[in-house]
Structure 1
Amino acid sequence: MADGDKVNDIFGRAGEIASGAADKATVMIDSAAARVSAGVTEMREESRASPRIDDGNYARDGDAHAAAEAGEHVLSGELSVSDTADDAAAEIAVNHSAGGVVKGCVQKRIDGFKSGLTNKKLLITAGVMALVWFALTILPALGFNPAAVQSLSFLTFARGGLSGGVPGFIGGLIGKGLIAYFVTLLIVGGISGESIVASIRSFAAQFSGKRWDITSIAPLLIGGGAALFVYNFLAGTSSIMNCMVGIVAFLIAARALANRAGCVRQVVAAAFAKEGRVDSGLVTKVMMGWAGGFALGVVLSVFGGYTCYIAGFSLLVAGVVLMVTVQKQAGGVPA
């Protein structure tokens, strides 16, 4: 056999080997993609098929269901919006103290975390998110920080917990849990673009056609000030790169305002209750301020640092002073 024929034979065999390897790789990729697709489909079907939708533990968003309690780390309510009637001018009964409500909510979060450890899909989602956060944290440290990495860092709140000292670290971990919950709902179909728009519209509708005076503004300021404090705690230091946690917090708070449920609303009701009763309109106004405070926090992130702590303290003081003034004038709790 001539040297040219040998070379051609070698290249021919190499081509066959490469072609076979490419075919096998294609099969493996297709198989992996099919498994991922099947896994997401299965998660969505399980969410739709949940038998607990009618007992109040699950909420409907389109054709999917999402646990109303899952992922409410600091904020309450899932992200879908249901139609609700306006608050009636009536009092509601409060059977627990604010401390008792907080204790019960914390216990629910602990129980939910324990049950999540047995759910492979949730563990996989958490593992993937952890890897993404690790990669987006280590790449800039290695000098690789293009626009794509910065965009992903913003969307995933990757820099949460990296600023603000020990409080910022703890707040960042909680904020990351909130973002992971949001991503999980996206995967299982628990939220949609339409429900997010509906949440914002529902929040805006709460402010239209209202009569605003000192009595109404005081609880708004208190709720807004508290939200600014919580936002700055979650973000570590308020900045544009860390404001995604504020956006997600706003959406969840808007849902809590719409469905009149959740731990935060229960804490507010218990904190303002007198002799076991509280005005429902007062609670709703505090929750309006709570949702609006997160939206304001995102805007104030332009100034950076601890601006939201300062603004939150100022709003809280102003709200408390106005509320005390109203109480002295009217001899009761403002509605």
Structure 2
Amino acid sequence: MIPERRAPDLRRGAVGWLRANLFNTPLNGAVTVVTAALLAWLLWPALQWAVLQADWIGNSREACSGEGACWVFISARFESIVYGFYPEAERWRVDLVFLLMAVLVAWLAIPRLPAKRWVGLFALVGFPMVAFFLLVGGSFGLEHVPTRDWGGLMLTLTIATVGIVGSLPIGVVLALGRRSKMPLVRGFCVVFIEFWRGVPLITVLFMASVMLPLFVPTQVEFDKLLRALVGIMLFWSAYMAEVVRGGLQAIPRGQEEAAKALGMGYWQRMALIVLPQALKLVIPGIVNTFIALFKDTSLVLIIGLFDLLAIIRAGLTDSDWLGFATEGYVFAALVFWVFCFSMSRYSQYIERRLHTGHRN
């Protein structure tokens, strides 16, 4: 005789999740079915156009049948979309930077990997230096590649990475300065934050491109990309400062008073007691600012920098590829969505890991 076995627990797994969330009541079940049918009715034509009837293989527009999406446009111009105008013989340097960035991100994201403190320190200090020497060249036997030849996805990631890494510490300092008891420091931080929050980013980029060179000596050559990076960092640091200030105000005053009673100085209290708690509370706001910064990198087109979206738009002006704007914009939107969604999901993982919100 076969021994008796316990009945399957339908409260777990995919079936259990569906029963608990989508079909727990007759009304919810009916709403789920109607919503699924409506989504299928709306998404089926898009699925046919984008996947089932799409053309994927080829080198010219003659390979496109015209019934669905012509992804041949993306595959034929993929290298320019990724590298921009970077010299073909030197693109291995960009690939090496991408690989190093992916390894660092994976190392910091996977919980079980060791030496995260040293890897994080290298990511903040060492990696920017290595990436600079690799991408710019001019030393260690590498050919110099001016920033006017940068473009595509590599330029988008460069602007976003520098903006994120630069705006966070500046924003933290501004938030602390705005709460300072010294009138001069507090006044400077208030004026700085309100000024940069009161102007649009397009104006900042125009000013950085046109006006900033007027304030430096004529002998100094101020690179256009560097001007854009400075403007983006200063602009988003003002928004970051307000996000961090909200976290600082959420920390009870007794935390700092207790640290002061233990004999800690100001910077010790901030670095060891107040800031870790404040930054943990405002993780959603910080990541939301990062996502907005990443999406606004497309605005550098107005000062002559060809990022991912600008390279795609430039490709659409080619007479050989006229009429495929939809495919180009959909691909650009998909790339932006992948990066922004990844940042959002990772922030949610960090929140759960740190128990943000003081949940029980």
TM superposition score category, shorter chain reference? under 0.3
TM-score (norm 2): 0.22
1 or 2 for the larger relative contact order (CA 8 Å, sep ≥6)?
Answer: 1
Question: Which of the pair is proportionally richer in helix?
Answer: 2
TM-score (norm 1): 0.23
